[in-house]
Copies of this chain bind each other. A is one copy, B any other.
C-alpha cells in the first residue's frame, strides 16, 4: 500500500499560497477548503473574483513573489520536505484548527511529524525565565522524552530552549515550531540548538524558507504548538506572556493546559499561576502528573522514529546514499538497498520511513522504489 501523498500540483499550490498569503488566515482556509488548494491558488494567481475580495486583497502585494518550486528545492536541499494535508505524515490533530489549519508545514529533520505529534507534549513559557523555570522545563522535558514523549516547543530563549535541550540531552525526540522559515536561525543564539534539532528531531514552520520572524507570526505560530500536541505545559509565564496565548489556543481546542505552579512572589509565574484560575486548566507538580493528564502511551504506538545522532552532513550523506540506491522502477527490498548503498540494513530501515513519508520513495510489496516526485522527469 502506497502511503497517501498529495499530488505534486497540490503541493506546489500550497507552497505558493504559503508564500503569497500570510498563514493562519481563516478566509484563505475557507477558500482552500471549498475550492481545493489548486483551484484556490489558480484563483489567487489569476486574480479571479471567485477567490473573494478579501483573499484577493490579502494576496495582492505578494502574488508575484510566488516561487513554489524554488522554495521546495531550498527545503529539499536542507534535507527537508513540505508536509501537506493529505500526506501520510500530516498530523490529523492539526485538522481541528479547521479553517485556521496550516496550508502546509515545511519540515526539516528525521522525526516523522504525524507520529511525533501523536506523542508530543508542548512545553512553553517565558523567554526571561528564572533558573527555577529553566530547571523544571529541562528536567521534565528530559524525563518526558525518556518516557517516549516528543517535546515540542517554539525554540525561543528561556523555557522553550531549556525544554528542547532537556529532550536532546537524553537523545529524545524534540520538535521546534518556528515563526520564521526553517532555514532561519532565530533567535541567533539558538543557531546551534536549531542545527541539532534539524539533525535529530524536526524543525517545522508554516512559513516558506527565508521568511523572517515577525511579531504577529509568533501569535499565529502559537496555535500550531497548541494544536500539534497532546497537551500544553506552561512552565513560567509573566503577566502578558505569549505562552498565555498558546494556552488559550489549547483551551479553545479543548486540549489539556497544564501549569507548573511557581512562587506567587515571582513575576515570571504571575501569568502561569493566573491561568490556574481559568476553568479547565490544571496544575501539575511532577512529570507523573503530566503523564496522568495526557494518558499513558498506548501499546499500539511504536517507538519514535529517529534519524542517526550524527552531524547533519553525515545524515544527509547517509540518506542520499540510501536514496541513490533505491531503484527507479523495479522495487528492491531493504537488504538489497543496503548492499547497494554500502550501509547497514538497520540504517536503510531508519531512512526508508522518512523518505517514504517525504514522498520520495514508495513501497511496492516488500520492496521500495522512487516515487514519480523523485524521478528526474517529475520536477
Residues of A within 8 A of B (CB): 132, 135-136, 260-265, 269-270, 273-274, 276-277, 282-286, 289
Which residue of B277, B282, B289 contacts A289 across the interface (Cβ within 8 Å)? B277
Contact assessment for A276 and B261 in the assembled complex, using a CB-CB cutoff below 8 Å: yes
In the complex, residue of chain B having the shortest beta-carbon distance to the beta carbon of A272: B261
Measured between beta carbons, the chain B residues less than 8 angstroms from A262 are 261-263
Contact assessment for A263 and B265 in the assembled complex, using a CB-CB cutoff below 8 Å: no
17 contacts between A and B (CB under 8 A): A132-B265, A135-B265, A136-B264, A136-B265, A260-B264, A261-B261, A261-B262, A261-B264, A262-B262, A264-B284, A264-B286, A269-B285, A276-B276, A276-B283, A277-B283, A277-B289, A283-B283
In the complex, residue of chain B having the shortest beta-carbon distance to the beta carbon of A261: B261
In Å, the complex CA distance between A183 and B289 comes to 45
In Å, the complex CA distance between A263 and B139 comes to 14
In Å, the complex CA distance between A60 and B339 comes to 91
In the complex, residue of chain B having the shortest beta-carbon distance to the beta carbon of A282: B277
With both chains docked as a complex, state the minimum distance between the C-beta of A273 and any C-beta of chain B, in angstroms: 4
Contact assessment for A273 and B265 in the assembled complex, using a CB-CB cutoff below 8 Å: no
With both chains docked as a complex, state the minimum distance between the C-beta of A89 and any C-beta of chain B, in angstroms: 35
Of A264, A286, A289, chain B has the most CB atoms within 10 Å of the CB of A264
Which residue of B135, B274, B277, B285 contacts A273 across the interface (Cβ within 8 Å)? B285
Contact assessment for B264 and A263 in the assembled complex, using a CB-CB cutoff below 8 Å: no
With both chains docked as a complex, state the minimum distance between the C-beta of A286 and any C-beta of chain B, in angstroms: 7
In Å, the complex CA distance between A264 and B277 comes to 18
Measured between beta carbons, the chain B residues less than 8 angstroms from A264 are 136, 260-261, 284-286
Contact assessment for B289 and A283 in the assembled complex, using a CB-CB cutoff below 8 Å: no
Of A260, A273, A277, chain B has the most CB atoms within 10 Å of the CB of A273
With both chains docked as a complex, state the minimum distance between the C-beta of A331 and any C-beta of chain B, in angstroms: 52
In the complex, residue of chain B having the shortest beta-carbon distance to the beta carbon of A283: B276
Contact assessment for A132 and B285 in the assembled complex, using a CB-CB cutoff below 8 Å: no
With both chains docked as a complex, state the minimum distance between the C-beta of A280 and any C-beta of chain B, in angstroms: 12
In Å, the complex CA distance between A130 and B53 comes to 62
Measured between beta carbons, the chain B residues less than 8 angstroms from A286 are 264
With both chains docked as a complex, state the minimum distance between the C-beta of A130 and any C-beta of chain B, in angstroms: 10
With both chains docked as a complex, state the minimum distance between the C-beta of A140 and any C-beta of chain B, in angstroms: 9
In the complex, residue of chain B having the shortest beta-carbon distance to the beta carbon of A270: B285
